[in-house]
Amino acid sequence: MFNVRSSVQLMEDLKDIPKDKNTRLASFDIGNTYSNVPTDELISIIKFISSQQNTDDKLMEELISVTHTIMKQN
């Protein structure tokens, strides 16, 4: 469900994500480049920032789900 087959598919998928001027996208697809990201605390950080930004609960859960997938694949 969260795998990307090609850069074209990625671009199509990204266009479907609801966003506004406060939406940010982070990419963690390069191995060992982000070794200082606190993966043990990442979900808590996402929840904290989402609550501070009044992020919709559904969007926050989607962000957390995608983050879990990325952490498992990397």
List, as own/partner pairs, every contact residues 12-19 make where C-beta atoms lie below 8 angstroms and the sequence separation is at least 24, other chains included.
Answer: 18/59
Instruction: From 41, 20, 34, select the one nearest 74 (Cα to Cα).
Output: 34
List the domain boundaries for the chain. 37-74
Reported confidence tier of residue 74, pLDDT bands at 50, 70, 90: low
Q: Can you list the positions of beta strands (E) in the chain?
A: none
Q: What percent of the chain has pLDDT over 90?
A: 20
Tokens, residue 18: 């609801």
Q: For residues 31 and 37, which has the higher predicted lDDT (pLDDT)?
A: 37
Tell me, what amino acid is at 34?
Answer: Y
How far is 63 from 47, CA to CA, in rounded Å?
Answer: 9
pTM of the entire predicted model: 0.50
- Out of 21-25, 42-46, 69-73, the most confident range is 42-46
